[in-house]
Amino acid sequence: MDVLMPEPQIYVERTLAIIKPDVVGKEEEIEDVILQSGFHILQKRKLQLSPEQCSNFYAEQFGKVFFPNLTAYMSSGPIVAMVLARNGAVSYWKELLGPSNSLRARITHPHSLRAFYGTDELRNGLHGSLSISSAEKEIRFIFPEAVLEPVPTGQRARDYLNLYVKPTLLAGLTALCKAKPEDPM
């Protein structure tokens, strides 16, 4: 009887998730939803940003009417930042979050995290990166010690596995089979 094993997965895409100050008390609930949605939490950190750090983090929003309120809100208390990984992490996280306006999310995406945890247009409960490049930038901002090397995908990933990983595994497994320990247990 053959046992079907799932294909091994290499999670090549990461995104930043932030639980905002007014929702930090629901951290465990939100983490459960994240894990049940197929994400892996690679790094997690609880911190409080200063207004200056918030201004730097949201620099692309500078000059917009809501910018002062956004920086005041994000620096009003501790946040929980997480690096999430899975295939298509950025798009799946955005889909799970729903629209940035919580009021609109309740109408158009009633099962989204922002519909459930957000309170209005500004206090939407959670942050998500808009693209892979913004995710890398934001992860470096919150987790400066994180190593974010370009991870090969597609044919480049298969070539890497065939050239480096498979020969090493084959050599190691062959040596293990030849060792024949007297008492394997």
- Region 15-38: mean pLDDT is 96
- Given CATH 3.30.70.141, say whether it is the number of domain 12-142: yes
In this prediction, residue 36 carries a pLDDT of: 96
- How many Å apart are CA 114 and CA 142, to the nearest integer? 22
Q: Are 70 and 123 contacting, i.e. CB atoms less than 8 angstroms apart?
A: no
pLDDT above 70 as % of the chain:
88
Q: Is pLDDT at 28 greater than 80 in this prediction? A: yes
Q: Is pLDDT at 140 greater than 90 in this prediction? A: yes
Q: Is pLDDT at 62 greater than 60 in this prediction? A: yes
Q: What is the CB neighbour count within 10 angstroms for residue 178?
A: 7
Identify the three-state secondary structure at position 10. coil
Place of tokens 């158009």: 108
Residue 173 pLDDT class (50, 70, 90 cuts): confident
DSSP3 helix / strand / coil % (the chain, rounded to 5): 50, 15, 35
- How many Å apart are CA 172 and CA 168, to the nearest integer? 6
* 34 vs 166, residue with greater confidence: 34
Structure tokens at 23: 């929702």
Residues spanned by CATH 3.30.70.141 within the chain?
Answer: 12-142
In this prediction, residue 152 carries a pLDDT of: 65
Q: Which of 40, 109, 111, 127 is catalytic?
A: 127
In this prediction, residue 17 carries a pLDDT of: 98
40 an active-site residue? Answer: no
- How many Å apart are CA 82 and CA 97, to the nearest integer? 14
